[in-house]
Structure 1
Amino acid sequence: MRIVLSADCFYPAQMGGPSNAIYWQAKALTRVGHDITIVATSQDLPPEIELDAWLTLDCGRVIYTKNPHFYLPVKQIWYGWKVIRKADVVHINSLFYPASLMWALLSRLMGKPVVWSPHGELSPEALGYGSGMKRWLLKIIKRLSSVICFHATCDAEASHIRGQFGQDVPIVSVRNMMELPTLMTPSSTSHPYLLFIGRLHPIKAIDRLLDALSTSTVFRKSNYSLRIAGPDFGRVYAQQLRQQVKKLNLTAKVLFIGSVDGVAKEQLYANAYVTILPSHSENFGNVVIESLAQGTPVIASTGAPWQLLETEQVGLWTSNDPANLRQAIETFLTMPKETYLGYRQRAIELVQRDYNIMTNVAIWEQVYERVVMRNELKK
């Protein structure tokens, strides 16, 4: 099958979970024999990546387009038009990126079936940012929604999609999965740490995590620190976080370490005592499976669809108000060693069983086959 995917940010870019999730999915589909084409932008790429040239990678054919501006993706639209014509199915990633709407219109014009992944952009919290433009775009997308199959990563996201486009809109629910990394051996250290990893953006609620730690006597008296890893996606918010650390007298306990990628990121996960995702809203939260894959338990907010953390005993799922976050963190900091090691072992087993894209790629193959068949029946 000839499958074309769009990506505003794509591996090795690390602007968010979708950069890797799309790559892992494309790589798995390529491995089982599908013809995969990805049209991406040059956003957040390392300088050695060649632009505006077709590259043959382990995930298929990829072109990283150099556009006049990230939000003026002329070349991504142009190359999209060229490859959509030959596609059996088109998979659009990101709802509000300008090229996405043009890809949807071009696919409709050429009679191509479309899967569209919003990647959390329809949550009430996400819609609050740049809401004027988003309302305008939603009106246009709604006119196309009957011929689009939307992809939701969880029940909450499916509900958000129906809330915008109607109860009868076609939706497929598929959890995000990953290519399993090499399992790292945790390094013994006299300076153990808790970990936040992700964009420094208000929706991530890192400020609430800092408030929680500031009120924890257990944390303050321990030799644990908090490491915050990720790009300053919102510079104003990132500066506010640094000021908050000083105000709360946490300077000696909180480290901002910037973006960490590749093997270094895997070791960062493996060495962490627990990873914390305090977000106001997440449609999935790739950091959860990335952390669990290295055996590190996760504390996630109820804004993320991770009740599974508690049912599988691989972490805790709590509201992100500082009092509840503090209680969850102290549960781990005071946990007996044998109990904690059980969390680590179960985490590894869970990801290997349910979140390995290489052994579960048939889920996506079936989705594309159904979407193509539905499109043929409508002709």
Structure 2
Amino acid sequence: MRVYVSVAFYLPGFKAGGPIKTIQNMVTQLDGDLEFWIVTRDRDLGDTEVYPSVQPNEWMELDSSKVLYLSPDHFNVKSFAKVINDANFDVLYLNSFFDVNFSIKPLIARRLGLIKPCPLVLAPRGEFSKGALALKAFKKKLYINLANWFGLYTNITWQASSELEKIDILNALNVDPASIFIAKDLPEKKSRVSNDQNNQVLSEVRLVFLSRISPMKNLNFALRVLSNVKSSLIFDIYGPIEDENYWQSCLKWIDALPKYIKVNYCGAVNPAQVSHIFSHYDLFFFPTRGENYGHVIAESLSVGTPVLTSDQTPWLNLSDDNLGWDLPLESESLFIEKIEQVANMSRDARSIWRKQVMERASSRVNSDADVADNKALFEFAIKRFKNK
């Protein structure tokens, strides 16, 4: 089965985070069952320079997939229609609802009859979560209404990465529940960090935030919480600055923090470094407004780093397995309480906790059933298309 993947960013890029990991892991874990032809842009998020290793607008081999890196002058409906029509594929796979170039323009070409009829799967990637829709809410609502009026989303299959995301899709759009297929995003097959590296517990309590610096990831909430923590600790921030104005507002919170809260901005990191970075911290503090999966949560847990996150991700009931906590964003006091709890743990207690997290996380992170569901997603879309 050949899948045509349209996604805004892909390897060797990394700044866009989750969607890149999702497609990469799908390519790796479904190799042999599915063949992926990926169309993306020729540069990373926020960059003006082309990737040095690619030839724009020509199909290239990458691992077990083929990738077409489009230059910005090809970002028009006619060009997208030509690329789609020239490709020989079984399923068209879009990886955003709101992305103008790699989702909306192919959908416009489809609506205008410029591309051949084909099964189509759309993965919103968490864009319909409560927190995501609250950002630029008026524009998003207006677009949804216009898209429905224009019939852009008729006769497609929706991928939800969890039951929670399925509910979000149904709440945001007037779609048939039977058109939604739940297939979880796939994590990496195994951690890059060896067991000997996984318990680097230091005397000072160290918290980490690792994600894009944007309102969706809610760094300012984390800083606001820390402003009310009474215990001394280190808080390191990793991730590309996607929204400069938002980062400036975060800097004001950092400047106002008590002196016993030490904050360091460590910049963007290559995905190959992420697991190793997590292994140096006592807690991953990630109060995101919403994730359809949360690859960074999986990576943190896989190397034994507990997680303190919001209840707006599929990683729920973490405390049941002693993996950390998922809390409502409306309850800042609970976040403060949990951070104080970690800050007051002894070094030995934190070391024991890390070992427990790494052991217990395996059953949550690795699942053969999830791999089977991802393959079944495309089979489901083909069957629905044929039965129309």
TM-score, normalization by structure 1: 0.88
In the alignment, structure 1 residue 325 sits paired with structure 2 residue 327: no
Map 1:1-379 to 2 at 5 A.
1-14=1-14, 15-29=16-30, 31-44=31-44, 47-50=51-54, 51-68=56-73, 72=75, 77-78=80-81, 80-83=83-86, 86-99=88-101, 100-106=103-109, 109=113, 110-142=116-148, 143-166=151-174, 168-169=176-177, 170-179=179-188, 180-184=190-194, 185-186=197-198, 187=200, 189=202, 191-218=204-231, 220=232, 224-250=233-259, 253-320=262-329, 321-335=331-345, 340-341=350-351, 343-356=353-366, 360-378=370-388
Cα RMSD (Å) of the superposition?
A: 2.7
The one-character-per-residue Cα deviations of 1:169-221 (angstroms, maximum 9, x if unpaired) are 41111222211232241445455521001111122222221122222112x2x
> Could you say if the C-alpha distance between residues 131 and 157 of structure 1 is closer, same or farther in structure 2, counting changes exceeding 3 Å?
same
* Distance of 2:76 and 2:234 partners within structure 1: 41
CA contact (8 A) 2:236 2:263 kept: yes
1:49 alignment partner AA: S
Count residues with an aligned counterpart.
370
TM-aligned CA deviation for residue 356 of structure 1: 3.6
> Could you say if the C-alpha distance between residues 68 and 366 of structure 1 is closer, same or farther in structure 2, counting changes exceeding 3 Å?
same
> Could you say if the C-alpha distance between residues 78 and 27 of structure 1 is closer, same or farther in structure 2, counting changes exceeding 3 Å?
farther
Structure 1 residue runs of 4 or more that deviate by more than 6 Å after TM superposition: none
* Distance of 1:37 and 1:284 partners within structure 2: 23
2:21 alignment partner AA: N
TM-aligned CA deviation for residue 18 of structure 1: 1.0
CA contact (8 A) 1:194 1:272 kept: yes
The one-character-per-residue Cα deviations of 1:33-82 (angstroms, maximum 9, x if unpaired) are 4221000112417732313221111240011211149xx56697256423
Alignment gaps of 5+ in structure 2: none
1:103 alignment partner AA: P
TM-aligned CA deviation for residue 98 of structure 1: 1.3
* Distance of 2:165 and 2:52 partners within structure 1: 36
CA contact (8 A) 1:228 1:258 kept: yes
* Distance of 1:278 and 1:48 partners within structure 2: 35
Three-state SS of the structure 2 residue aligned to 1:253 is strand
Alignment gaps of 5+ in structure 1: none
* Distance of 1:59 and 1:343 partners within structure 2: 38
TM-aligned CA deviation for residue 114 of structure 1: 1.2
